[in-house]
Structure 1
Amino acid sequence: MSGMPSSTPQHSVTVGFDLDMTLIDSRPGIKAAFEALSAATGTFVDADLAITRLGPPLEQELAHWFPDERIEEMVEMYRTMYPEYAIAPTLAMPGAREAIAAVRQAGGRSVVVTAKHEPNAKLHLAHLGIEADAVVGWLWAEAKGEALREYGASVYVGDHTGDVRGARTAGALSVAVATGPCDAEELRTAGADVVLDDLTAFPEWLARHLEG
């Protein structure tokens, strides 16, 4: 188009990414944080079980172990302890850095939209050298659609059926990776437009998507 500056990329796209079990394998860190919380409170928390159902807000997991009147207190305690116990053990998922790089190389932007406490989400990304253009926390499932719309994301990548619902709410293409608690069939049934085994397949998919 004649009115477009020459520096504008041919394809500009904003891609949203979930965090836990999409970009990062936070299971070792979250397990350590839950074990520390359990030790500090004297309340049993089955950390091994908790890390099999990552995705929903922290409050939902804590409700399995603490009475309702203590949830708010436990959320605050967990989040305060989290940086000490959970950041260092957490790993990047295979292909995570390459997926973000692929968006940048296409002239696009990456925005991480997660249910996680936003400051802790930013700590994870900084520690692992994953450079997203924006990070929005405290949003789950359909509520993720708010941030995705705000940033103009046309694609949302996540590992949970809640992420599929978030993409749908935003009118974005739902790209699911079968690296979290939901398997490929469950993600397809939930309405994912694309299901990848993991993020290592994302750059090739993105290139095809933008060509189309």
Structure 2
Amino acid sequence: MTLTVGFDLDMTLIDSRPGIRATYVELSARTGVRIDADLVVSRLGPPLEHELAHWFPEERIAEMAAAYREIYPTHAIHPSPALPGAEDAIQAVRAAGGRSMVVTAKNAPHATLHLTHVGLKPDTVVGSLWAEAKAEALRAQGARVYVGDHLGDIRGARAAGALAVSVTTGPYSEDDLRAAGADVVLPDLTAFPAWWAAYAEGADALA
């Protein structure tokens, strides 16, 4: 049986904080609305519209989301590096005969731009899904593991019946992630290949 592993994008595979910060600074300059970009990047994870609701009235959110997405490729892609271990994690899945997919709240075109920029090549990219909604894509691809940094990622894994693997590269501590139901907590993706080798061996034995 082919093992499929899902990965979140922001703060799991890439450090998107510099690029998102730059995009919000530009959006603030264009609209004249004060946005605390440092606060924004301290709570990445939920969909764009959730964050914009902190800064704009409801009737302007759709307009501001469109404006943000228009300027995003110019300001956000280049400054955002891969996180340590990201490439090795995806390669470890592939080396074991598995498939990797990215499931993210970010829209798929922007997610693909990020992945291409840092040289990451998952088998599938699915965007615009958050928390429990991520289970739609995970179930469709038969993912048995989902790796993320956010409490919403744990909820998505649980809803899909997948193993919830968390990394502490996002806004939550190991204790926070375990309390939220993470099955496995790793400090970052550099620890993933060793964990994955043991997991895949056990899965093969049960197949």
Alignment of 1:1-212 (within 5 A): 12-212=2-202
Q: How far apart are the structure 1 equivalents of 2:5 and 2:201?
A: 16
Q: Which moves more between the two structures, 194-203 or 11-20?
A: 11-20
Q: How far apart are the structure 2 equivalents of 1:56 and 1:181?
A: 12
Contact 1:176 1:196 in 2 (8 A): yes
Contact 1:12 1:106 in 2 (8 A): no
Contact 1:59 1:71 in 2 (8 A): yes
Deviation at 1:147, TM superposition (A): 0.3
Q: How far apart are the structure 2 equivalents of 1:182 and 1:113?
A: 19
Q: How far apart are the structure 2 equivalents of 1:193 and 1:56?
A: 21
**Counterpart secondary structure, 1:102:** helix
Q: How far apart are the structure 2 equivalents of 1:58 and 1:205?
A: 32
Q: How far apart are the structure 2 equivalents of 1:81 and 1:17?
A: 25
Q: How far apart are the structure 1 equivalents of 2:68 and 2:136?
A: 26
Identity %: 67
Question: Which ranges of 4 or more aligned residues in structure 1 deviate by more than 6 Å?
Answer: none
**Counterpart secondary structure, 2:143:** coil
Q: How far apart are the structure 2 equivalents of 1:79 and 1:97?
A: 26
Calculate the aligned-residue CA RMSD, in Å.
Answer: 0.6
**Counterpart secondary structure, 2:110:** helix
Contact 1:79 1:117 in 2 (8 A): no
Deviation at 1:12, TM superposition (A): 2.6
Q: Per-residue displacement from partner, 1:153-184 (whole Å, max 9, x unpaired)?
A: 00000000000000000000000001001111
TM-score when normalising by structure 1: 0.94
Q: How far apart are the structure 1 equivalents of 2:56 and 2:161?
A: 37
Q: How far apart are the structure 1 equivalents of 2:189 and 2:133?
A: 23
Deviation at 1:118, TM superposition (A): 1.1
TM-score when normalising by structure 2: 0.97
Q: How far apart are the structure 1 equivalents of 2:172 and 2:127?
A: 21
Q: Per-residue displacement from partner, 1:53-97 (whole Å, max 9, x unpaired)?
A: 000001111111000000000001001100000000000000000
Q: Which one-letter code corresponds to 1:84 in the other structure? A: T
Q: Which runs of 5+ in 2 are unaligned?
A: 203-207
Count of residues in correspondence between the two structures: 202
Q: How far apart are the structure 2 equivalents of 1:19 and 1:154?
A: 17
